[in-house]
Amino acid sequence: MINVLFLCTGNSARSVLSEALLNHHGGGRYRAYSAGSSPTGQVNPLTVKTLSAHGLISEGYSSKSWDTFAGPDAPVMDLVVTVCDNAKGETCPIWPGAPVQTHWGYEDPAAAEGTEAERLAVFERIYSEIDARIRAFVATSFDKAETVAERRAIASNI
């Protein structure tokens, strides 16, 4: 099982969407988690609505600190992916197991303005972008790569 941690600042939209999509598409080969550097404390309701609209599990997610995954009792990650530019630029904790780290940036749908329908359209667009990347990722041989260099190359080129 390959453990993957998706990081964002607020852990309310992009990282949760990524977690849900990898757990959905991972075929039992991947276990995804998400966290934030400054968690909002709740998952954005439009994240939940978007997941539900696509038939994915939309309950049980929480907005939590990345410190949850830096402690000695945390699952050891094989890959840590920042999904927002703010988290990419922050100094991350030292992750147990020295996982491969990469950046897959997306626009923040939680920052969208307008009516609920307009904001939901932004969530749908970002969902589609993440979904395409996750599908491409699970189609790779990341889980079979034998070296850190191979894993880094695969994760960075998705």
Catalytic residue among 92, 121, 153, 158: 92
Considering the domain boundaries, does residue 154 fall inside one?
Answer: no
Task: Note if 84 is an active site residue.
Answer: yes
Considering the domain boundaries, does residue 141 fall inside one?
Answer: yes
Total domains, the chain: 1
Considering the domain boundaries, does residue 35 fall inside one?
Answer: yes
DSSP secondary structure of 8-32:
ESS-SSHHHHHHHHHHHHSTTSEEE
Full-model pTM: 0.93
Task: Note if 8 is an active site residue.
Answer: yes
Composition of the chain by helix, strand, coil, percent to 5: 45, 15, 40
The CATH number of whichever domain residue 9 belongs to comes to 3.40.50.2300
Catalytic residue among 2, 13, 43, 84: 84
Task: Note if 10 is an active site residue.
Answer: no
Please give the chain's pLDDT, 158 residues, in tens. 999 999 999 999 999 999 999 999 998 999 999 999 999 999 999 999 999 999 999 999 999 999 999 888 899 999 999 998 765 566 666 777 889 999 999 999 999 999 999 999 999 999 999 999 999 999 999 999 989 999 999 999 88
Considering the domain boundaries, does residue 145 fall inside one?
Answer: yes
Range of the domain at 23: 2-149
